[in-house]
Amino acid sequence: MFEPLPDILDHGLVVVFIGINPSPMAATTGHRFAGPSNRFWRVIHLADFTPVLLRADQDGSLPQYGCGLISAVSRPTRRANELTRAELVATGDALRAKIERHRPKWIAFLGKGAYSAIMARRDVAWGLQGKTLGAARVWVLPDPSGLNRETLPQLVAAYSALRVAAADDFAAFSAGDMDGPEGLVQI
């Protein structure tokens, strides 16, 4: 049995990326997006969320760049479609409480399926959503998994749109003008 991966969170981050659930490789290594075909780390670097290309085992450094990383469901699977709708729906209250406690400015769901099930929304479009979670604005991005059909340039364009939308919040974070205590919180 795998231990749940720790959340990579801090109070008052700019963006918290919400993956659907970890892969077996992530569960084995203890780091999300650890598989060789997963493009998350490359995409967030190319989209200017991080100034350097991080490896999965450097995930704990994300908060210094204003970003966090959590999983909606802790159970690892090879494919997200192996999760039940009930598992996704059940995570809604805990996710909402976590977001309200840590107060990021933005949250980014990595995939429409998780957002749709967790937030009980149909006909989800990519990008900014009309509904918030706590005070956080919600954005839906394509899942960076190598199993996904989006090309690297398509992923970078989608993630860059969020980075541009959050530019003022990143500038405030860099200037130290964000609310909340400092220090990495791993739950």
Per-domain residue ranges of the chain: 15-174
- 5 within 8 A of 69, measured Cβ to Cβ: no
Per the prediction, the chain carries an average pLDDT of: 87
Q: What is the pLDDT of residue 122?
A: 83
For 146-186, the pLDDT digits (tens) are: 778 899 999 999 999 999 999 999 999 999 876 544 444 44
What's the length of the chain?
187
Q: What is the pLDDT of residue 182?
A: 45
86 pLDDT higher than 90:
no
110 pLDDT higher than 60:
yes
Least confident piece of the model among 31-40, 76-85, 87-96, 122-131: 76-85
Domain 15-174, CATH: 3.40.470.10
- Per DSSP, the chain holds a count of helices (H) and strands (E) of 7, 5
Pairing label, strands 106-110, 15-19: parallel
pTM: 0.89
Q: What is the pLDDT of residue 85?
A: 75
For 24-70, the pLDDT digits (tens) are: 788 888 899 998 888 999 999 999 999 999 999 999 999 999 999 99
Range 82-85 contact pairs with CB under 8 angstroms and sequence separation of 24 or more: 83/20, 83/21, 85/117
